[in-house]
Structure 1
């Protein structure tokens, strides 16, 4: 074998590494999903958005809830018998309102119990989906978030408040158009949230939750902790199965040359005095 041939063999091996690594991860995920389904007797659906190195050049891809996600989740729900519970694992910063709302409405219509598992965070559209479930199981450090609409990167509620603090003749036409859209978006989100929460809470509680979560009382990245979710009256618990933590380990972030977090990956117990 010549040096040139050896070079090309090594090149092909290196080029295939990202592809093979991704395939091994997919196989491991499928096995873990099968294990969780066998333990819980449910259909497990993952909605996980993390960076993953998907190409030979190693560029990370940021993901969020989109129409493709709603199509896949709805397809999975359609393939599930009406008497089979659904466990949806959420790890997402949010995304398109339309896609998140489609998923939430499909979940709400499923006759059997639907449980949302939140190991780390489910913000914005992720929270909208969680609210459609019968139960939300969170890690003690996991968070949800408000579902207030954003218009061109600005909170809809803030755009409206601006029009009340400045004279109209001092406001640009584009801002007034955004304010009109913001008013519609806030009204629509509140009505959609009331539709999702309907039949799960008393009418007064539905009105309260829809108002607080959708009308701009918090910044969009405000973390709703387990304790705060419980105070709001959401159906939350902390009994997150160990298998879900193990499953999340199969969604690695891109490898960095210098890791930002390091520790010995072993359980640490207090050593007794001699």
Structure 2
């Protein structure tokens, strides 16, 4: 074989190897998801957002909850029988309010038990989703966060506070428009959080908690620990299944492009409660 052929063979292998490793990693994830489903007798949906790196340029890419994620999660829920529990493994810095609310409502309306499992963190939109489920399971060191809306690069609450501290003739039209949008955004999120919580606790307590979480009491990245969440009246336990950590480890070094939402892409039949297995 001449040097030119060896060179092109090397380039081919260089191109194919990352693809092969990606497919192998994908298969390992599906197998781990399937093991977890057999162990817990649930539909397992995984939504993990991690910083990735482009292969050649080293440019960091930050992933967030987006419309594509909500489409896939809603599709997975539609493919799940009404009497089958759902486990959502969640690791995210947050994302679009619309997408987060869609996922939250779909989980809330699912008739069987819904659980969010947080191995590390679920902030902002991730916290909003977590408030919708029947059970929240977190690693003892994991955190959630406030759900106060952000307008562009600024917290909505801070925009309103800034406007309130000045005379109206000192402000330009754009700032006033941002303040108006901020008020609406906070009210909308507060109303949505209250709707998620009203069936889980007394109405007055739900209103207080919605106010606390959505109106900018803390910075947007304030860590709500297991202890803090329980103090607020949000029930959390730390019984994370061991296989969740095994699955989470499979996302440490992603290669190439991958979907951030994964599940076994087949419709499931109903659970035979007498035999205790999936038919």
Partner of 2:195: 195
- Tell me the CA shift for residue 57 of structure 1: 6.2
Give the unaligned 5+ runs of structure 1.
256-274
Counterpart-to-counterpart distance in 1, 2:254 and 2:46: 20
Contact 1:18 1:55 in 2 (8 A): no
Distance 1:180 1:127 in 2: 25
* Greater RCO, 1 or 2 (C-alpha within 8 Å, sep 6+): 2
Confirm whether residue 228 of structure 1 aligns to residue 242 of structure 2: no
Work out whether residues 124 and 146 of structure 1, in 8 Å CA contact, stay in contact via their aligned partners in 2: yes
Instruction: Tell me, yes or no, if the aligned pair for 1:15 and 1:56 is still in contact at 8 Å.
Output: no
Q: How has the CA–CA distance of structure 1 residues 13 and 53 changed in structure 2, closer, same or farther, with 3 Å as cutoff? A: farther
2:241 match: 241
2:213 is the counterpart of 1:213? yes
Q: Judge which range, 118-127 or 158-167, deviates more.
A: 158-167
The answer to whether residue 156 in structure 2 is matched with residue 156 in structure 1 is yes
Which stretch shifts more, 19-28 or 46-55? 46-55
Q: Distance in 1 between matches of 2:11 and 2:253?
A: 24
**Equivalent position of 2:174 in the other structure:** 174
Matches within 5 A, 1:1-274: 1-53=1-53, 60-253=60-253
CA-to-aligned-CA distance 1:208-245 (integer Å, 9 cap, x gap): 11000001000001110111011011120000111001
Of residues 18-27 and 51-60 in structure 1, the stretch that sits farther from structure 2 once superposed is: 51-60
1:51 to partner: Cα distance:
2.8
Q: Could you tell me whether the CA contact under 8 Å between 2:94 and 2:123 is conserved in 1?
A: yes
Two-structure CA RMSD over aligned residues (Å): 1.5
Structure 2 SS opposite 1:224: coil
Quick check: 1:50–1:253 contact (8 Å CA) kept in 2? no
- Aligned partners of 2:24, 2:134: CA distance in 1, in Å? 34
How far apart, in 2, do the equivalents of 1:21 and 1:201 lie? Answer: 48
The aligned length equals 255
C-alpha distance in 2 between matches for 1:177 and 1:147? 22
TM-score (ref. length: structure 2): 0.88
The CA deviation at 1:20 is 1.2
Partner of 2:263: none
TM superposition score normalised by structure 1 = 0.90
Q: In the TM superposition, what is the alpha-carbon distance from 1:201 to its structure 2 partner?
A: 1.4
Runs of 4+, deviation exceeding 4 Å: 53-60
SS at match of 2:179: helix
Cα pair 2:22 2:254 within 8 Å, conserved: no
CA distance in 1, matches of 2:24, 2:58: 17
In the alignment, the residues of structure 1 paired with residue 67 and residue 55 of structure 2 have an alpha-carbon distance, to the nearest angstrom, of 23
Give, in angstroms, the shift of residue 55 of structure 1.
Answer: 5.3
Aligned-pair CA distance for 1:34:
0.1
